Amino acid sequence: MYNPKSTNAEEFINHEEILDSLKYADENKNNLELIDSLLEKARPRKTEKGWHCQGLTHREALVLLACDNKEINRKIFKLAEVIKKAFYGNRIVLFAPLYLSNYCINGCLYCPYHLKNKNIARKKLTQTEIAAEVAALQDMGHKRLAIEAGEDPKNNPIEYILESLKTIYSVKHKNGSIRRANVNIAATTIEEYKMLKDAGIGTYILFQETYHKESYERLHPTGPKHDYCWHTEAHDRAMEAGIDDVGLGVLFGLDKYRYEFAGLLMHAEHLEAVHGVGPHTISVPRVKKADDIDPDVFDNGISDEMFLKIIACIRIAVPYTGMIISTRENEETRRRALNAGISQISGGSRTSVGGYTEKVRPHDSEQFDVSDTRTLDEVIGWLIEQKHIPSFCTACYREGRTGDRFMALCKTGQIQNCCHPNALMTLQEYLTDYASKETKSTGEKLIAEELKNIPREKTREICSSRIEKIKTTDERDFRF
């Protein structure tokens, strides 16, 4: 029985509800009157308090996804772009993954870290090595990390993760510091989530991989991750432990994309229904080649066009969530994804343990082959050319604007009063401390243009003054 308020995974991700919704979408994919009404329902509206957007249910969003009318598809992509700009403006948040250990006791068939892979070089960073990785990331200009580690109670216990977080936050290198570390580790207990909360993490991220229970159990034949409900209910335990912000995601290509799309949106609806706050982020990785992993083995791959439409439909259905795309995707796909709804990207990423201190990109311990191999500076310059504002901002986490407090501001569009000036100041930090000459020149021109778009005169004056201080002094980390 479908019940979004249930704490049982098989009820809030209900198989029969998904099948019924898929049938409904097939029956209505050419119902242009219904589709136009859904697009109108999802359109952002200006109110006295700011922007408001209603979003769509999983069933409604599936109708848009199923429609193959070219004119409707054009409207879908246009609406997704309008919604993204209404709530996130032209800001793109930058981050990098940091792999601590690839020891893992699970048997996941799509991941090179699986226990039976005897070819991959196993490695676990010491705290000294972590500090060196963090310094290398700071030398690139990064301020926000996503911590990654395999599931292995012996090699990667919670104590190791906590110690690593302490090390990451302690490294102050030149003008650099990591201001927020998000964490992507295996499902765990409420007690351990409380430990992560106390350690000052940003968002707790956990990908479902696939919402199809039968496929999930087949793809995870051994190890603790085999337990579908334990994994799927992890975000509830994290939020019960006090972690305000959680991130969802599926690995597109493992199962039928429409089923995964429905499950992902149902999970978002469940978090909203139970905790009053939906997902802070939604990630959209696709299966990629890696050591001992051939993506062609999975016969559910999707075209770039459908992948981009999925992104657009998620943006329309869950308008307030941050959407993440990684270096799994190439430059052109990422460029198009930014317009379809993506608001966060990684840059200069290494997906191997200890990869940032290596001069040559190591491939012997990568979790997946990186498609976008550009440096962070090249990515920043590329974003600036397209009039996006590269942002290293983490102010909301540190000012307590998380969970329902963040969403209350986001749902009225008021968050831009904080995010826009913060983005400009952190971009200036990057330009002053790390950028190439060309990137600095184009970036400072963009900042000058964007300062004019800050609506409040007082905020504009303060932001301009702080930017000048960043240029001429060692003062950093100004924030609204």
DSSP per residue over 398-447, as a string? HHT--HHHHHHHHTTTTTHHHHHHHHHHHHHHHHHHT--HHHHHHHHHHH
Residue 326 located in a structural domain = yes
Residue that finishes a domain, picked among 80, 109, 126: 80
Q: Are 128 and 237 within one domain? A: yes
- Residue 480 lies inside a defined structural domain of this protein: no
Cα angle, residue 400 at apex, residues 346 and 177 outer, rounded to 5°: 45
Domain boundary, last residue among 43, 64, 80: 80
- The CATH number of whichever domain residue 241 belongs to comes to 3.20.20.70
Whether 358 is in a domain gets the answer yes
The answer to whether residues 321 and 419 belong to one domain is: no
Distance between CA atoms of 182 and 187, rounded to whole angstroms? 15
At residue 311, the 3 state secondary structure works out as helix
Q: Which pLDDT score is estimated for 362? A: 63
The pair phi, psi for residue 381, each rounded to 5°, is -60, -40
- At which of 44, 62, 80 does a domain end? 80
What is the rounded (10 degree) CA torsion for 113, 117, 119, 125? 30
Establish if 354 belongs to a structural domain: yes
For residues 51 and 107, membership in a common domain is answered with: no
d(CA 270, CA 246): 13
Q: Is residue 3 part of a domain?
A: no
Query: What is the residue range of 52's domain?
Result: 11-80
Question: What are residue 149's phi and psi, to 5 degrees?
Answer: -160, 145
Could you tell me if residue 169 is inside a domain? yes
**Number of structural domains, the chain?**
3
For residue 238, is it within any domain? yes
Check residue 138 and give its pLDDT. 98
Question: Are 65 and 102 part of one and the same domain?
Answer: no
What integer pLDDT is reported at residue 417 of this predicted model? 82
- For 229, the 3-state DSSP assignment is helix
User: In terms of domains, do 71 and 92 share one?
Assistant: no
- What local confidence, expressed as pLDDT, does residue 398 receive? 92
Same domain flag for 186 and 304: yes
Which pLDDT tens digits describe the chain residue by residue (480 residues)? 999 999 999 999 999 999 999 999 999 999 999 999 999 999 998 877 677 899 999 999 999 999 999 999 999 999 999 999 998 999 999 999 999 999 999 999 999 999 999 888 899 999 999 999 999 999 999 999 999 999 999 999 999 999 999 999 999 999 999 999 999 999 999 999 999 999 999 999 999 999 999 999 999 999 999 999 999 999 999 999 999 999 999 999 999 999 999 999 999 999 999 999 999 999 999 998 777 777 778 878 999 999 999 999 999 999 999 999 999 999 999 999 999 999 999 999 999 999 999 876 666 667 888 999 999 999 999 999 999 999 999 999 998 999 888 888 887 777 778 899 999 999 999 999 999 999 999 999 999 999 998 989 999 999 999 999 999 999 999 999
The verdict on residue 23 lying in a domain is yes
pLDDT score recorded for residue 364: 63
| pLDDT value for 194 | 98
Q: Are residues 48 and 128 in the same domain?
A: no
Phi, psi of 118 (to 5 degrees): -95, 0
Q: Are residues 301 and 329 in the same domain?
A: yes
Read off the DSSP letter of residue 463: H
Residue 229: other Cβ atoms inside 10 A: 14
